Amino acid sequence: MKEIRFHGRGGQGAVTAADLLAMAAFYEGRYSQSFPSFGTERRGAPVLAFARISDSFIRRRCQIYSPDYVVVLDPSLIEVVDVAQGIRTDGSILVNSEKSPEELGLDTPSEVHTINATKIALDVLGVPIVNTAMIGAFGAMSGEVSLESIVRAVKARFKGTLAEKNVRAVEVAFARMEEKL
């Protein structure tokens, strides 16, 4: 089983990102679940979302404390939250940032990857909502879900022009992450 923790701010789409990842895994015939962790936070407050992907039935229903992957939608969270807390030593962290992994200064033995999802979102969507770009980059970085399955999940979640734009954000981020690997 692979466990993924998403760090974002209210309104950035962290919960939707976890849902899309779980849907993409489901489309590949795998078991999956996603769930948020937040209270009465308002837009802009730090939020967590989680996803699990497995080849067998998932019995766990608890928060994820030792993720295989961490996805950080807002790089400013690195200054206020220990985003690397509990990550497995063989895990990977994906951060939405224009900086290099080394410039982030994360104290972790895990692999750190960056992608400027904000630029992709602004260029493709016209708004700085990075969730679909981050899922595209995650798919390329991790190999846990295919581009085709992510696109299928996005098309199931969104309709019309919104779906088309989000599919494009996924495709651009997937390609840019592949180039970096």
Which CATH number goes with the domain that contains 161? 3.40.920.10
**Can you give the pLDDT at residue 178?**
97
C-alpha span between 167 and 148 (Å, rounded): 10
Segment 122-144 shows an average pLDDT of 97
Greater pLDDT, 9 or 44: 9
**Can you give the pLDDT at residue 11?**
82
CB atoms within 10 A of CB 147: 18
**Can you give the pLDDT at residue 41?**
56
Any residues with CB less than 8 A from the CB of 40 and at least 6 apart, and which? none
Residue type, 100: S
Structural domains in the chain (count): 1
Any residues with CB less than 8 A from the CB of 46 and at least 6 apart, and which? 7, 8, 9, 10, 77, 80, 81
Segment 111-127 shows an average pLDDT of 97
pLDDT at 40 over 80: no
**Can you give the pLDDT at residue 156?**
97
Helix (H, G, I), strand (E, B) or coil at 33: strand
Tens-digit pLDDT profile for residues 46-61: 889 999 999 999 998 8
**Can you give the pLDDT at residue 42?**
65
The domain of 103 spans 2-180
C-alpha span between 36 and 6 (Å, rounded): 9
Percent of the chain clearing pLDDT 70 (strictly above): 97
pTM above 0.85, yes or no: yes
CA-wise closest residue to 4 among 83, 79, 57: 83
Residue type, 88: R
